[in-house]
Amino acid sequence: MFRMAERSYRFQNLSNGEPLDVLIVGGGITGAPLYRQLCGLGYRVALADKGDFSSGSSQASGMLIWGGLLYLKNLDLPTVIQLCKARNELMKAFPDAISVLTLRYPVSPAMRRIPMLLGLYAYWFLGGFALKRPTMGTTLEYQEGMLRHSDSRFVIEQIRAFDSEHGIPLNHCRLVAAEFVRDQRCWTVRLRDELTGREHEGKARIIVNASGVWADEVNRLLAVESPWKHVFSKGVYITFPRRDGQTDAHIYPMPGADDVLTHVPWGPVMMWGPTETAIRDLESGLTPAREDIRFLLTSANQSLPQKVDAQDVVSIRCGIRPLAVARDDSRNVYPLKLSRHRRIVAHQEKQTILIYGGKFTSSFKVANQVAGLIGRWIPARFPQPMTFSQPPQTTEHGFVTAQWARDHEFCVTLEDYLRRRTPIAQWTPRMGLGRDGSGRESLKKLAAAFTPKPLEAEAMVEAYERQVCATYDPLLATL
Ligand SMILES: Cc1cc2nc3c(=O)[nH]c(=O)nc-3n(C[C@H](O)[C@H](O)[C@H](O)COP(=O)(O)OP(=O)(O)OC[C@H]3O[C@@H](n4cnc5c(N)ncnc54)[C@H](O)[C@@H]3O)c2cc1C
């Protein structure tokens, strides 16, 4: 595999020299902005993810940078106010990455239109009047932000700015063991390179557990406890081809639940979903099930003007929402009723920070908060400029090239490229292969970026195709 030399160099950096100031476990939207901020403040930081960066919940979101209108129903005002504020700040800070999205809710004479409009006005007020005033005609209309490219790209953009002996980004690298050495006030950690199986030892003064739905698993490795736990809510979207002139996002009531489904334009597709299903074990939430797809197709046919079936599905997105509740909470409620608040626990005696719950939208606020806590334990050093700030090299379609992603964005597999560095696997049927497999030749050319040997590139595409046939195709067969 190309570029393994850079990976070994990063692992060497981890083991050599001074201990890290901070090891962040989890390279999703919680870990990534924190990594960027701490590197900028001059700390020596490593960001480790057991898979690719953004390969957990952060690759499955609705990509809305939103104020949490739905939580207004639960009168969860603190969450709504905080999310609105976070939304406004993010939209201001990243005008190129986040665009304004107008959402429309079809109204019928049977609906309680005035209370709904008043609710939207309250939301607009809580959001500091930052976006356009809600209106009511044949639809109720209001605005939010939406990531322009994708959730994963946004995460990776945060990480790629720092790659040096002071900022060590390590994807496909799992924390497997950790021990706090009290007299040295320092952690000894073991990290496994998931691509080679080799284990590397390092030292870190502080560990931040930003591993999302895996937080409890990582806490067990750290032997730390938390007053919070996660309730897991599985969410699935399917996408359909976007027709000419489909520029609007719509919201519809979810059949059989006090919830909604959205139909949102994203590049050449329309996203339909998400489902909201409480699950007990993580494994069952990580992959979509046929019932999820069946539910989404049925509800699409009840709500959308055009009829759709399994043949129309371009892609499927599936992830788990990490919802923070008190450890002794045993309520059995529909997940939407649970708060989306982020909870941060600081264990000073073991110099560990645990992060529970939260949203894409609130992640930068959390990064600020956690950086503040870290500053109390280790004062910030000299501010560091980004080690890399060039804009990416792109293809005619506007996607970052495979070579660029390999050289500057830690991309090591074809799947990393198709699913997270670009939206190719989401915008082309059968995860980039095309319905009839006609995308195979293009994928071979892309695979060449990850191996110098043509036969290996071919084998890479064959393995990818086998994975699509085994996991993706059966989900849509005879639905
Ligand atoms: C269907 C759906 C729709 C959503 N829509 C929105 C939305 O529109 N707007 C919004 O603001 N939010 C939305 N969210 C919520 C948001 O996506 C999540 O809150 C957020 O992505 C969680 O990010 P995270 O970084 O905490 O977790 P993750 O993205 O899961 O990252 C945790 C990482 O930790 C890594 N990890 C775990 N264990 C280890 C280990 N031992 N060693 C190394 N690494 C490890 C994992 O591989 C993973 O990549 C949605 C969520 C879902 C599921």
Please report, in tens digits, the pLDDT of each residue of the chain (479 residues total). 556 778 888 999 988 878 999 999 999 999 999 999 999 999 999 999 999 999 999 999 999 999 999 888 888 898 899 999 999 999 999 999 999 999 999 887 777 788 889 999 999 999 999 999 999 988 999 999 999 999 999 999 999 999 998 999 999 999 999 999 999 999 999 999 999 999 999 999 999 999 999 999 999 999 999 999 999 999 999 999 999 888 889 999 998 888 899 999 999 999 999 999 999 989 889 999 999 999 999 999 999 999 999 999 999 999 999 999 999 998 888 888 887 888 999 999 999 999 999 899 999 999 999 999 999 999 998 888 888 888 899 999 999 999 999 999 999 999 999 999 999 999 999 999 999 999 999 999 999 999 989 999 999 999 999 999 999 999 999 77
Domain identity same for 300 and 364 = no
For ligand 1, the distance from its centroid to the CA atom of residue 121, given in whole angstroms, is 31
The 8-class DSSP code of residue 466 comes to H
* Ligand 1 mean position, distance from CA 322 (Å): 7
What is the domain-level CATH number for residue 313? 3.30.9.10
Is the same domain home to 267 and 305?
yes
Closest ligand 1 atom to residue 26 Cα is: 34
From 160, 151, 174, select the one nearest 29 (Cα to Cα). Answer: 151
Query: Is there a single domain that holds both residue 198 and residue 316?
Result: no
Rounded distance from Cα 354 to ligand 1 centre (Å): 14
Amino acid sitting at position 193: D
**What's residue 2's pLDDT?**
53
pLDDT at position 3, please?
63
Looking at the structure, do residues 133 and 168 belong to the same domain, yes or no?
Answer: no
- How many angstroms is it from 319 CA to the middle of ligand 1? 8
- CA-357 nearest atom, ligand 1: 19
Show Cβ contacts of residue 157 under 8 Å, excluding neighbours closer than 6 positions: 97
Q: Look at residue 265 and tell me if it is in a domain.
A: yes
Q: For atom 1 of ligand 1, which residue has the closest CA?
A: 235
User: Which of 14, 58, 231, 416 to probe ligand 1 with, by most ligand atoms within 8 A of CB?
Assistant: 58
Ligand 1 binding pocket mutation candidate from 55, 211, 260, 283 (most atoms within 8 A of CB): 211
Strands 249-253 and 98-106: parallel
Q: Residue 398 has what pLDDT?
A: 93
C-alpha span between 31 and 170 (Å, rounded) = 12
| Angle, CA of 52, 25 and 196, to the nearest 5° | 50
Q: Which of 267, 298, 326 is the last residue of a domain?
A: 326
Do 222 and 350 have their domain in common?
Answer: yes
The atom number, within ligand 1, closest to the CA of 318 reads: 1
The rounded Å distance from CA 118 to ligand 1 centre is 33
Q: How many Cβ atoms are within 10 Å of 130's Cβ, its own excluded?
A: 16
What are the backbone dihedrals phi and psi of residue 291, each rounded to the nearest 5 degrees, phi first? -65, -35
Asked if residue 287 belongs to a domain, the reply is yes
Q: What is the 212 CA–ligand 1 centroid distance (Å)?
A: 5
CA distances for 238 relative to 271, 294, 302, 314, 392, angstroms: 6, 10, 15, 7, 29
- Output the CA 380–ligand 1 centroid distance in Å: 27
Which residues span the domain enclosing 288? 229-326
Q: Which CATH number characterizes residue 202's domain?
A: 3.50.50.60
Final residue before a domain boundary, out of 124, 146, 168: 146
Same domain, 298 and 234: yes
Q: Do 48 and 166 have their domain in common?
A: yes
Q: 58 C-alpha vs ligand 1 centroid, how far in Å? A: 4
- Residues 303, 158 within the same domain: no
* Ligand 1 pocket, CB under 6 A: 25-31, 48-51, 55-58, 60-64, 66, 174-175, 210-214, 218, 235, 274, 319-322, 358-361
Q: Whose CA is nearest to atom 11 of ligand 1?
A: 360
In angstroms, the CA 27 to CA 48 distance is 6
Atom of ligand 1 nearest to the CA of 53: 49
Judge whether 74 lies within some domain. no
Task: Reply yes or no: is the peptide bond before residue 253 cis, omega within 30 of 0.
Answer: no
* β-strand partners of 355: 344
- From 143, 57, 124, 130, select the one nearest 92 (Cα to Cα): 130
Same domain, 253 and 363: no
Pocket mutation for ligand 1, best pick of 173, 321, 416 (most atoms within 8 Å of C-beta): 321
Q: Strand locations in 148-224, DSSP E? A: 167-170, 173-181, 186-193, 199-209
Conformational region of residue 398, where left means phi above 0, alpha means psi within -120 to 50, and beta covers everything else: left
Within-domain flag for 310: yes
Tell me: do 250 and 322 sit in the same domain.
Answer: yes
Q: Is residue 275 part of a domain?
A: yes
Cα-to-centroid distance, 28 and ligand 1 (Å): 6
What separation in Å is there between the alpha carbon of 65 and the centre of ligand 1? 14
Within a domain: 353: yes
As a whole number of angstroms, the distance between CA 38 and CA 22 comes to: 8
Q: Which residues pair with 46 in a beta bridge?
A: 23, 168
**What does the alpha-carbon distance between residue 125 and residue 128 come to, in Å, rounded to a whole number?**
5
Instruction: Among 35, 50, 57, say which to mutate for ligand 1: greatest number of ligand atoms within 8 Å of CB.
Output: 57
Those residues whose C-beta lies under 8 Å from the C-beta of residue 323, and which sit 6 or more positions away, are: 230, 231, 232, 233, 335, 338, 339, 340, 357
How many domains does the chain divide into? 4
Cα 371 to Cα 368: distance, rounded to the nearest angstrom: 5
Contact present, 308 and 269 (Cβ < 8 Å): no
Residue 394 lies in a domain: no
How close is the Cα of 408 to the center of ligand 1, in Å? 23
Together in a domain, 222 and 238: no
Among residues 90, 119, 146, which one ends one of the domains? Answer: 146
- Tell me which residue has its CA closest to atom 35 in ligand 1: 26
CA-CA distance, 74 to 227, in Å (whole number)? 23
- Which pLDDT does position 71 carry in this prediction? 86
**Same-domain status, 222 and 234:** no
d(CA 57, CA 36): 20
Choose which residue among 187, 214, 315 to substitute to test ligand 1 binding: the one with the highest number of ligand atoms within 8 A of its C-beta: 214
- 304 vs 241: CA distance, rounded Å: 13
**Helix then strand then coil, % of the chain, to nearest 5:** 40, 25, 35
Task: Look at residue 64 and tell me if it is in a domain.
Answer: no
